[in-house]
């Protein structure tokens, strides 16, 4: 019999044979067509790792017979021929395909595979990019086909969804999304930010030397929130270009999103960037480490390699389970070659639920995250992304702050460590405001935050308070006009070329401007054009009443006065009928006036006054002289009074220019608007229109084809259209247009008078403010060509509707009226000027004050005369003063000589002469 050793040897051999037999029974051959596209190296390397893994793990019991087919995204015909050739060869060799493993990403290559597998009813697991409905060839497959035509989105197709989450979380209103070849965004153009109020552009990253220009163009489109979906190498290129453009400041926000597992690097001088990268689940890190170390699953990006590895492995395991369960035999094993397929003979696969087996719990631990198979477009691998705030200073990372995580999926929210930290990473809404300095609307003020102050600054502050934005103001020379080539300058050009977001100031709404930019609702009343001139200076003089008559007339009056007085004295002295020659005759008259030279001078002087000259001479000749003087005085006084009133009135009515028509009809006053202003445009176009009308009228009048009746209707003596503006525009060009407001004001002030010099034509608000702050300037005439003021924005800008809402709110709250009150009636620069005399006012003291001086001079002379009289009487007159006493009646004394009695009786006491001496009564003081 057998020894113990022989028995043991036989047992070992038997066990080995049994084990080999069992292995042969559980190992399943699987025929697979692997369809890939050129450039998808990650999928190709992951497949190789999966094949190696299957060979080293015999316990899985899978033997894969693999056929590779590679195509490109543009040549679908060649790709289809390769697929059909491979498929037909498998049918000939009776190695019927169990699975088509499709790792094409997008384009014609992907659509070719989808069309091929659907037509031939081949079970397929695809890793193509696209959400529900994006894979066109599988868009209308029936419910049975969805069980074996499976699409699972790769991580690179799910990662962009974080952009939508960030936009919603941070309330971002604009976004520039740049991506490289590691991401496929063709199908994301419409779906990524669908139903989100965010203006955005999705564009591939250009070549290295063109990235700076690309960023500049995006900035011109008012995009300040940048999302970079790329490899770390391409992210660095974009960030470096942004640093060269100084795009790292509070006006920009940068989000770097990648599949790579590395650190963010750039040569940025001072940048803060939100960095988003995949983060392996802690539960699967050991599995991932094993695959990387043992099976060399190291192709970047790791998350994509792990996804393709798990996709391949689980697809093979699912097919194995379907075959082992016997489902495959019942699902139908009909195959139709490409040559035999006619569009109506597609095989029927029933009861082949590949989706169920893919979702079946597996003994194989996921490498990066579990794959969830729901439906085409909604199936993906579960993973998470780590959000970090990275600060880069002088090319080196100086700080990193963990912000939170995002779980892959659709419409998944963020899990944040600190929500406030996210706020600091958003781009401040900072609009670029372009303006033209003009008080009181806007002017420089270094004490304010923006460096400017005025009506419009207060307005934009209130709008910013409502709409929650910040702004930066830049001033230019003019609002802008269009040249003959249709080119604009000034603020309008800045808006057209996207270098500014808002045009602010006293900007008139004009038709040609509305063709290239947009205006909000008006924030200010209709404003027209008016005239600014130097305030007329009415000359004043205290002795203006003396200037009514010329000096020669005054001298003649004075000569007539002295001559008449002297003549009256002569007539009274020599006339036998005068008082001094007939004292006895007029001794009983109450008034006894001797017309000596002093009395004659006094009589003629007082005769010119309403008081009158007093008692007239007794002699007829003297009375004729007095009557003649009275008549002369009446005429002189009447003429003087009338001329004085007229003289004072005319001096106040000296306003030669009262309207634009008055300005156009004279030549002594030059006039012009500012160069490149809306006023200049108005006059220039009015002149051009008149010129065109003239050409049209001339062509009509000289048209030989007109009938006699039609020609007669045009036969007029005068040109029927005015040429006022043509002449005015020519005069303006000859006068020279001021370059700025300062030059215009200086020219107005240099005017000699209101009837000779320079007049400025400008916006009524400009003129009004100059009048408000200057006492030597005035407005003339009514406003014309009135237009409203409004805020300008870029054409098609969403700011138009936002500003309209804000301005209407301010209008309803009466805030605009308060701004007018502040900057006009209560303006700190308002001058308190002396009131200008008008026609209703009386004669000013400056013109009539000389009369009072005459009174004071007369009183002064009287005082001097009184002093002289007293001095003359007391110290210079040597007259002996005696007291006269009444003597007692002595009739016995000698009686007075009868011859002298009449002298005593006729002479008054104060003129009594004793012993040839004159006796004067003593003055009493």
Distance CA 302, CA 259 (A): 8
The tokens of 255 are what?
């989000």
Contact 61, 323 (CB under 8 A): no
Report the C-alpha gap between 2 and 166 in whole angstroms. 80
231 is in an annotated binding site: no
CA distance 138 to 132: 10
Residue 332 neighbours by CB distance under 10 Å: 14
**Exposure string over 34-60, b if 16+ CB within 10 A, otherwise e:** bbbbeebebbbbbbbbbbebbeeeeeb
Residue 82: both structure tokens together: 């390769």
Among 312, 188, 173, residue whose Cα is nearest residue 257: 188
H/E element, 856: helix 845-871
Element (H, E) at 85: helix 76-92
Sorted by sequence, the CB contacts under 8 Å of residue 500 that are 6+ apart come out as 432, 433, 434, 474, 491, 494, 794
Query: Distance between CA 171 and CA 159 in Å, rounded?
Result: 19
Q: Region of 419 please: left (phi>0), alpha (psi -120 to 50) or beta.
A: alpha
CA distance 397 to 378: 37
100, 75 contact by CB (below 8 A) = no
Tokens of 393: 């200073």
Query: In this structure, are residues 749 and 537 in contact, taking their beta carbons and an 8 Å threshold?
Result: no
At residue 651, the 3 state secondary structure works out as: helix
Residues 6+ apart with CB under 8 A from 280: 288, 368, 383
DSSP letters spanning 328-365: HHHT------TTT--SS------S--HHHHHSS--SSP
**Helix, strand and coil in the chain, % to nearest 5:** 45, 20, 40
CB atoms within 10 A of CB 109: 26
Alpha helices by DSSP H, listed for 500-619, are: 511-514, 551-574, 597-607
Q: Say how far apart CA 346 and CA 336 lie, in whole Å.
A: 7
Taking only Cα atoms into account, the Rg of the chain, rounded to an integer number of angstroms, comes to 57
Whether residue 723 is annotated as binding a ligand: the answer is: no
Residue 685 annotated as part of some ligand binding site:
no
CA distance 264 to 391: 10
CA 784-785-786 angle, to 5 degrees, is 90
Q: Is 290 annotated as a binding residue?
A: no
Closest residue by Cα to residue 436 from 393, 480, 398: 480
Task: Find out whether 508 is annotated in a ligand binding site.
Answer: yes
C-alpha distances (whole Å) from 908 to each of 181, 369, 911, 913 are 142, 150, 6, 10
- Local structure of residue 576 (DSSP, 8 states): T
In contact, 199 and 172? CB cutoff 8 Å: no
Q: Are 177 and 229 in contact (CB under 8 A)?
A: yes
Cβ neighbourhood burial of 196 (10 Å; 0-12, 13-18, 19+): middle
Enter the tokens of residue 707.
């009938």
HSE-up of residue 867 (Cα within 13 Å, Cβ side):
6
Binding residues: 508, 513, 678-679, 763
Binding residues for L-glutamate: 508, 513, 678-679, 763
């Amino acid at each position: 019999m057998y020894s113990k050793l022989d028995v043991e040897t036989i047992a070992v051999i038997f066990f080995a044979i049994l084990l080999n037999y069992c292995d042969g029974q559980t190992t399943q051959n699987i025929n697979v067509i692997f369809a890939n596209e050129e450039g998808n190296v990650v999928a190709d390397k992951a497949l190789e790792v999966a094949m190696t893994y299957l060979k080293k793990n015999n316990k899985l019991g899978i033997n894969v017979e693999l056929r590779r087919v590679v195509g490109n995204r543009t040549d679908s015909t060649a790709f289809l021929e390769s697929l059909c050739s491979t498929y037909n060869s498998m049918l000939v060799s009776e190695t019927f395909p169990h699975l088509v493993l499709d790792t094409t990403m997008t384009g014609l290559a992907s659509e070719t595979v989808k069309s091929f597998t659907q037509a031939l009813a081949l079970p397929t697991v695809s890793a193509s990019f696209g959400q529900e409905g994006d894979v066109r060839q599988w868009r209308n497959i029936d419910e049975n086909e969805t069980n074996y035509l499976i699409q699972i989105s790769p991580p690179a197709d799910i990662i962009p969804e974080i952009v939508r989450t960030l936009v919603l979380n941070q309330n971002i209103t604009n976004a520039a999304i740049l991506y490289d070849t590691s991401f496929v965004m063709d199908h994301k153009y419409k779906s990524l930010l669908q139903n989100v109020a965010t203006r955005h552009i999705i564009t591939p990253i250009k070549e290295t030397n063109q990235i700076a220009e690309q960023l500049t163009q995006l900035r011109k489109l008012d995009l300040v929130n940048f999302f970079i979906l790329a490899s770390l190498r391409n992210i660095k290129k974009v960030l470096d270009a942004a640093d060269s453009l100084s795009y790292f400041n509070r006006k920009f926000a940068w989000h770097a999103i990648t599949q790579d597992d590395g650190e963010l690097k750039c040569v940025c001088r001072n940048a803060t960037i939100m960095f988003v990268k995949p983060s392996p689940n802690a539960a699967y890190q050991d599995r991932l480490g094993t695959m990387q170390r043992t099976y060399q699953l190291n192709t970047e990006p790791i998350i994509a390699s792990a996804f393709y590895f798990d996709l391949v492995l689980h697809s093979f395991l699912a097919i194995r389970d379907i075959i082992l369960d016997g489902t495959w035999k019942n699902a139908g094993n009909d195959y139709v070659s490409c040559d035999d397929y006619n569009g109506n003979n597609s095989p029927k696969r029933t009861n082949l639920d590949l989706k169920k087996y893919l979702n079946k719990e597996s003994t194989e631990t996921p490498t990066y995250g579990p794959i969830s198979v729901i439906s085409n477009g909604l199936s993906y691998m579960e993973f998470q992304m780590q959000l970090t705030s990275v600060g880069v200073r002088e090319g080196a990372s100086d700080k990193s702050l963990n912000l939170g995580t995002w779980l892959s999926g659709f419409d998944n929210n963020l899990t944040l460590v600190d929500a406030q930290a996210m706020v600091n990473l958003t781009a401040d809404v900072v609009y670029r405001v372009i303006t033209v300095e003009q008080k009181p609307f806007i002017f420089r003020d270094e004490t304010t935050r923006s460096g400017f102050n005025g009506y419009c600054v207060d307005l934009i502050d209130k709008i910013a308070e409502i709409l929650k934005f910040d702004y930066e103001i830049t001033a230019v020379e003019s609002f802008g006009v269009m040249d003959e080539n249709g080119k604009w300058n000034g603020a309008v050009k800045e808006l057209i070329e996207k270098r500014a977001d808002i045009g602010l100031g006293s900007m008139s709404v004009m038709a040609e401007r509305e063709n290239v930019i947009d205006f909000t609702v008006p924030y200010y009343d209709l404003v027209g054009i008016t005239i600014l001139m130097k305030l007329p200076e009415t000359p004043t003089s205290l002795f203006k009443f003396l200037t009514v008559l010329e000096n020669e007339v005054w001298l003649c009056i004075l000569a007539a006065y002295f001559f008449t007085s002297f003549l009256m004295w002569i007539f009274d002295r020599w006339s036998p009928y005068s008082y001094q020659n007939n004292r006895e005759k007029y001794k009983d008259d109450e008034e006894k006036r001797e017309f000596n030279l002093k009395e004659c001078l006094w009589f003629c002087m007082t005769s010119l006054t309403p008081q009158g000259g007093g008692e007239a001479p007794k002699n007829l000749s003297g009375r004729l002289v007095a009557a003649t003087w009275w008549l002369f005085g009446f005429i002189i006084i009447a003429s003087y009074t009338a001329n004085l009133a007229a003289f004072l009135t005319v001096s106040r009515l000296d306003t030669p220019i009262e309207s634009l028509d008055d300005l156009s009809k004279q030549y002594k006053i030059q006039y012009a608007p500012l160069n490149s202003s809306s006023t200049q445009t108005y006059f220039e176009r009015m002149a051009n229109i008149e010129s065109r009308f003239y050409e049209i009228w001339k062509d009509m009048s000289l048209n030989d084809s007109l009938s006699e009746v039609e020609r007669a209707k045009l036969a007029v003596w005068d040109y029927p259209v005015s040429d006022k503006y043509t002449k005015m525009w020519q005069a303006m060009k000859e006068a020279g247009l001021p370059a700025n407001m300062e030059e215009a004001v200086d020219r107005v002030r240099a005017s000699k008078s209101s009837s000779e010099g320079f007049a400025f034509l400008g916006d009524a608000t400009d003129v009004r403010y100059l009048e408000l702050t200057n006492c030597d300037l005035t407005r003339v005439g009514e406003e014309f060509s009135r237009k409203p003021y409004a805020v300008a924005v870029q054409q098609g800008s969403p700011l138009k509707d936002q500003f309209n809402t804000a301005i209407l709110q301010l209008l309803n709250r009466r805030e605009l009226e308060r701004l007018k009150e502040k900057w006009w009636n209560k303006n700190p620069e308002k001058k308190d000027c002396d009131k200008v005399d008008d026609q209703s006012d009386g004669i000013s003291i400056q013109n009539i004050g000389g009369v009072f001086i005459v009174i004071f001079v007369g009183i002064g002379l009287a005082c001097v005369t009184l002093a002289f009289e007293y001095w003359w009487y007391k110290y210079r007159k040597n007259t002996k003063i005696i007291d006269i006493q009444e003597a007692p009646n002595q009739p016995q004394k000698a009686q007075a000589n009868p011859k002298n009695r009449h002298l005593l009786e006729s002479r008054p006491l104060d003129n009594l002469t004793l012993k040839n001496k004159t006796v004067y009564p003593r003055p009493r003081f």
